[in-house]
Amino acid sequence: MTSTSSLHTFLHPKAIAFVGATERSVWSNAALASLRTLGYAGKLFPVNRRGGSFHGIAAATSAEAIGEPVDTALLMVPADALDDALADLQRAGIGNAVLLSSGFAEAGDEGRERQRQLTAKARSRGLRILGPNCLGFVNFVDRSAVWTASLREPLPAGTLGIVSQSGALAGQLSFMAQVHGIGLSRMVSTGNESDIDIAEVIDYLVDDEHTRSIAVFAETVRDPQRFAAAAERALAVAKPIVVLKMGSSEITAQAAQAHTGSLVGDDRVFDAMCQRLGLMRVRSIEDLVFTAAFASMTGPFQAGGLAAVSMSGGMCEIFAERAEEEGLVLTPLAPATETALREVLPGYGTPQNPLDVTGAAMLQPELFGNALEALVRDPALGAAIVVADVPNAPANDTPLNRAVLAQVSRGLAASPVPAIVCSHYVMQVSERSRELIAETGIRHIACGIHHAMSAAGAVRRWSETLRRRQAQGVAAAVQATPPAQPLRSERETLDWLSQRGVPVVPVRLSRSADEAARFAEELGGPVVLKIASAQIAHKTEVGGVALNLQGADAVRAAWQTMDARVRAARPGAEIDGILVAPMRQGGLELFVGTVRDPQWGPALAVGLGGIWVEALRDTSLRLLPVTPAEVKDMLAELRGARLLDGWRGAPAADRDAIAEAVAAIGNAALALGPELVSLEVNPLRVDGATVEALDALAVWGAAD
Amino acid sequence: MTSTSSLHTFLHPKAIAFVGATERSVWSNAALASLRTLGYAGKLFPVNRRGGSFHGIAAATSAEAIGEPVDTALLMVPADALDDALADLQRAGIGNAVLLSSGFAEAGDEGRERQRQLTAKARSRGLRILGPNCLGFVNFVDRSAVWTASLREPLPAGTLGIVSQSGALAGQLSFMAQVHGIGLSRMVSTGNESDIDIAEVIDYLVDDEHTRSIAVFAETVRDPQRFAAAAERALAVAKPIVVLKMGSSEITAQAAQAHTGSLVGDDRVFDAMCQRLGLMRVRSIEDLVFTAAFASMTGPFQAGGLAAVSMSGGMCEIFAERAEEEGLVLTPLAPATETALREVLPGYGTPQNPLDVTGAAMLQPELFGNALEALVRDPALGAAIVVADVPNAPANDTPLNRAVLAQVSRGLAASPVPAIVCSHYVMQVSERSRELIAETGIRHIACGIHHAMSAAGAVRRWSETLRRRQAQGVAAAVQATPPAQPLRSERETLDWLSQRGVPVVPVRLSRSADEAARFAEELGGPVVLKIASAQIAHKTEVGGVALNLQGADAVRAAWQTMDARVRAARPGAEIDGILVAPMRQGGLELFVGTVRDPQWGPALAVGLGGIWVEALRDTSLRLLPVTPAEVKDMLAELRGARLLDGWRGAPAADRDAIAEAVAAIGNAALALGPELVSLEVNPLRVDGATVEALDALAVWGAAD
Residue B360 vs residue A380, higher pLDDT = A380
Where in chain A are all domains bearing CATH 3.30.470.20? 588-703
How close is the nearest chain B Cα to the Cα of A577, in Å?
A: 27
Homologous superfamily, domain A3-292: Succinyl-CoA synthetase domains (3.40.50.261)
Q: Is B601 within 8 Å of B612 (Cβ atoms)?
A: no
- State the helix-helix crossing angle for A285-298 and A167-179, rounded to 10 degrees: 60
* CB-based contact A615 B642, cutoff 8 Å: yes
Q: Which of B175, B317, B425 is nearest residue A172 as measured by Cβ atoms?
A: B425
Rounded to the nearest angstrom, the gap between the alpha carbon of residue B155 and the centroid of all alpha carbons in its chain is 30
Q: Are A47 and A15 within 8 A, CB to CB?
A: no
pLDDT beyond 60 at B79:
yes
Q: What is the dihedral of CA A657, A660, A665, A668, to 10 degrees?
A: -140
Which of A162, A316, A426 is most worth mutating to test chain B (most B CB atoms within 10 A of its CB)? A426
pLDDT above 60 for A90? yes
The Cβ-side half-sphere exposure at B641, using a 13 Å CA radius, reads 11
Per DSSP, the three-state class of B377 is coil
Residue B252 has pLDDT above 50, yes or no: no
Chain A interface includes B448 (CB < 8 A)? yes
Phi then psi dihedrals of residue A265, to 5 deg: -100, -165
Percentage with pLDDT > 70 across chain A? 95
Burial class (CB in 10 A: 0-12, 13-18, 19+), B586: exposed
The most confident of A87-96, A587-596, B587-596, B617-626, by mean pLDDT? A87-96
CB of B432 within 8 Å of any CB in chain A?
no
CB A217 within 8 A of CB B314: yes
Indicate yes or no: CB of A313 within 8 angstroms of CB of B168. yes
pLDDT at A564 exceeding the cut of 80: yes
Q: Please tell me if residue B317 touches chain A, with a CB cutoff of 8 Å.
A: yes
Interval B126-141: pLDDT, tens: 999 999 999 999 999 9
Does an H or E element contain B555, and which? helix B552-569
Please list every residue in chain B whose beta carbon sits closer than 8 Å to the beta carbon of residue A152. Answer: 393, 395-396
- ipTM comes to 0.91
Measure CA of the first residue to CA of the last residue in chain A; give whole Å: 43
The residue type at B47: V
The segment(s) of chain A belonging to CATH 3.30.1490.20 are: 506-582
In whole angstroms, give the CA distance from residue B10 to residue B23: 25
- Answer whether A62's CB lies under 8 Å from A98's CB: no
Task: Give the pLDDT of residue A263.
Answer: 39
d(CA B12, CA B42): 10
Q: Is A395 in CB contact (< 8 Å) with chain B?
A: yes
Q: Exposed, middle or buried, B346 (CB in 10 Å: 0-12/13-18/19+)?
A: middle
- Strands A57-58 and A619-623, sheet pairing: unpaired
> Mean pLDDT for chain B?
91
Instruction: Please give the order of strands across the beta sheet that includes B72-75.
Output: B43-47, B15-19, B72-75, B96-99, B128-130
Instruction: Report strand pairing: A381-387 vs A305-310.
Output: parallel
Average pLDDT over residues A697-704: 71
Cβ pair A363:B176 closer than 8 A? no
Q: Are B244 and B218 in contact (CB under 8 A)?
A: yes
Assess contact for A565 and A543: CB atoms under 8 A: yes
What is the CATH architecture of A506-582?
Answer: 2-Layer Sandwich (3.30)
B206-245 residues touching A, CB cutoff 8 A: 217, 219, 244
Distance (Å) from the alpha carbon of B251 to chain A's nearest alpha carbon: 17
3-state secondary structure of A97: strand
- CA A353 vs CA A309, A315, B80, B336: distances in Å: 8, 12, 33, 59
**Contact list, B398 vs chain A (CB under 8 Å):** 150
The whole-number pLDDT of residue B259 equals 35
What residues does CATH 3.40.50.261 cover in chain A? 3-292, 300-472
Q: Is the separation of the CB atoms in A290 and A446 below 8 Å?
A: no
**Higher-confidence position of A42 and A470:** A42
CA gyration radius, chain A: 32
Mean pLDDT value across residues B375-381 = 96
Q: Return the percentage of chain B with pLDDT > 90, whole number.
A: 76
* pLDDT tens string B211-223: 999 999 998 888 9
Across the interface, whether the CB atoms of A640 and B615 are under 8 A apart is answered: yes
Segment 539-558 of chain A within 8 Å of chain B by CB: none
Instruction: Indicate yes or no: CB of B395 within 8 angstroms of CB of A153.
Output: yes
Decide: A552 and A539 in contact? Cβ < 8 Å: no
**For residue range A643-688, what is the model confidence (pLDDT) as tens digits?**
898 877 778 999 999 999 999 999 999 999 988 989 999 999 999 9
> Touching check for A102 and chain B: CB below 8 Å?
yes
* CB distance A641 to A620 below 8 Å: no
For residue A486, what pLDDT is reported?
A: 85
What lies within 8 Å, CB to CB, of A562 at 6+ separation is A529, A531, A543, A544, A546, A578
Interface test with B, best of A614, A616, A639, A645 (most B CBs within 10 A): A616
Q: Which is it for strands B305-310 and B355-356: parallel, antiparallel or unpaired? A: parallel
Could you tell me what percentage of chain A is helix, strand and coil, using 3-state DSSP and rounding each to the nearest 5? 45, 20, 35
Q: Is pLDDT of A38 > 50? A: yes
Which of B169, B246, B640 is nearest residue A616 as measured by Cβ atoms? B640
Residue B357 contacts A, CB cutoff 8 Å: no
pLDDT of the residue at B251: 40
Q: What is the pLDDT of residues A202-214, one digit of tens each?
A: 999 999 999 999 9
Total-model pTM: 0.92
CB contact under 8 A, A175 and B425: yes
Does A286 touch chain B if contact means CB atoms closer than 8 Å?
yes
pLDDT digits (tens, 9 = 90+) for B536-591: 878 888 999 999 999 999 999 999 999 999 999 999 899 999 999 999 988 889 99
With contacts defined as CB-CB under 8 Å, which chain B residues touch A450?
283-287
At residue A256 the predicted structure's pLDDT band, cuts being 50, 70 and 90, is: very low
Q: For residue A45, what pLDDT is reported?
A: 98
pLDDT of A249 above 50: no
Residue A524 backbone zone (phi > 0: left; psi -120 to 50: alpha; other: beta): left
Q: Which residue of B has its CA nearest to A452?
A: B284
pLDDT at A537 over 60: yes
CATH of A588-703 among 3.40.50.300, 3.40.50.720, 3.90.550.10, 3.30.470.20: 3.30.470.20
User: Could you report the per-residue pLDDT of B140-165, keeping only the tens digit for each?
Assistant: 999 999 999 999 988 899 999 999 99
- Residue A261 banded pLDDT, cuts 50, 70, 90: very low
Superfamily of domain B300-472: Succinyl-CoA synthetase domains (3.40.50.261)
The predicted structure's pLDDT at residue A611: 65
